[in-house]
Amino acid sequence: MRLIYNGILIGVIFGAATPALSADFQTRMIGGSVQLGGELVISIMPGDKTMPSNAKCSVEVPEPYSGHLELISSNCSAMKIQQAFEPIRDENGYAIPSTDVPYNLIVANENGQEVGRVNGIFPYNNQFSDLRIHIKDVKNPVSPGESFQAVVLGAGEPISESLLCRWATYGPVAFEPMSENKCSGRITALEPQGRDGDMNVEIVNLKDMHAVGYAISKIIVE
């Protein structure tokens, strides 16, 4: 396992979702989401043991998971961490499945001496759960021939170039890609067909076409 210092990082992320196997302290997720690109805010609280002043927190997690999380804030009462925006891949470039991952959280005093720990398992989500098609400046209903910039966002950010967006349109709407991974482009309203212009986007890992998310949107053409 890799030891990550100066914060709770992963161990407490999922403490609220999965019971710990051993706990000298309590953990609680107080905000955020478990997904690619997701930010989580976690709190460590006294349990069987008292939280020391100026505590230093660290966590052991196995590779490759430890390399895909970034510590944003090291405040033990409101830790903020961010999961990478790209899926974890194996040695062949294939996206690995979401799975349960063991963690071992260590709490130390200001001198670096361990005073307690929490260990257990958590569900690592190797997919997006917050995906949307952002259509800039659209105001429904729209007229035939109107065109708008569109971009697929994962956890609020543009999709990585290492991932591919596969579009499907139905009804009076067309999509023209303007980026290599087809995650941004222009949508154009076509002649009304008595139905909405529907758009579906599947986000996949290019190497193995493994889906890591799905987004939908529509326009109304009159």
Tens digits of residue pLDDT in 31-70: 888 899 998 887 778 888 888 888 877 777 789 988 888 7
Domain boundary residue, one of 124, 156, 187: 124
All residue ranges of the chain with pLDDT < 70 are: 1-22
The CATH number covering residue 113 comes to 2.60.40
Same domain? For 141 and 59 the reply is: no
- Which pTM does this prediction carry? 0.81
Identify the domain boundary among 78, 109, 124.
124
**Number of separate domains in the chain:** 2
Question: Is the domain of 37 the same as that of 142?
Answer: no
pLDDT at 4: 39
The CA distance from 165 to 136, in Å, is 18
Dihedral angle sign, alpha carbons of residues 54, 38, 125, 87: negative
Domain range for 30: 2-124
**pLDDT the model gives residue 106:** 76
Whether residues 185 and 166 share a domain: the answer is yes
Residues 215 and 113 grouped into a single domain? no
147 in the same domain as 102: no
DSSP 8-state code for residue 142: B
pLDDT confidence of residue 122: 72
